[in-house]
Amino acid sequence: MEVLQPQRQLGTHALFQVVHNHQRAQAMEKARSLPGLVVEDAASGTRAAQFELALDSTELVDGSIHLSLVHAVELFDRASMERMAGHYVRVLQALADDGAQEVGSLPLLGEDERQALLRQAPAAIALRAAGCLHGRVESQARCQPQAPALRSEGHTLSYAQLNAEANRLAHRLIALGVRPESRVGIAMQRSVEMVVGLLAILKAGGAYVPLDPDYPVDRLAHMVEDSGIALVLTQAAVRERIPGAVALQVLEIDTLDLSGEPGTDPQVEVNPDSLAYVIYTSGSTGRPKGAQLSHRNVARLLDATEAWFGFGPDDVWTLFHSYAFDFSVWEIFGALCTGGRLVVVPYWVSRSPQDFLALLRAERVTVLNQTPSAFGQLVHAVEQDEEGGSGLSLRHVVFGGEALEPESLRPWFDRFGDESP
Share of the chain above pLDDT 70, in %: 89
Q: Beta 231-234 vs 249-252: how paired, if at all?
A: parallel
Q: How does pLDDT run across 205-214, given as a tens digit for each residue? A: 999 999 999 9
Evaluate if residue 257 carries a pLDDT over 50.
yes
Domain boundaries, the chain: 18-120, 133-294
Q: How does pLDDT run across 278-319, given as a tens digit for each residue? A: 999 876 667 888 999 999 999 999 999 988 999 999 999 999
127 pLDDT tier (thresholds 50, 70, 90)? very low
Query: Domain 133-294 - what CATH class?
Result: alpha beta
120 pLDDT tier (thresholds 50, 70, 90)? low
Average pLDDT of the chain to the nearest whole number: 87
Q: How does pLDDT run across 51-109, given as a tens digit for each residue? A: 888 888 888 777 788 888 888 888 888 888 888 888 888 888 888 888 887 787 788 88
Sign of torsion over alpha carbons 32, 37, 38, 43:
negative
Beta bridge partners of 23: 58
Evaluate if residue 45 carries a pLDDT over 80.
no
For residue 12, the model assigns a pLDDT of 67
The lowest-confidence range among 104-113, 248-257, 352-361 is 104-113
DSSP secondary structure code for residue 12 in this structure:
B
Evaluate if residue 128 carries a pLDDT over 50.
no
What span, in angstroms and rounded, lies between the C-alpha atoms of 45 and 165? 73
Q: Assess whether the previous peptide bond of 406 is cis (omega < 30° from 0).
A: no
Q: In a 10 Å sphere around its CB, with 0-12 CB exposed, 13-18 middle and 19+ buried, how is residue 17 labelled?
A: middle
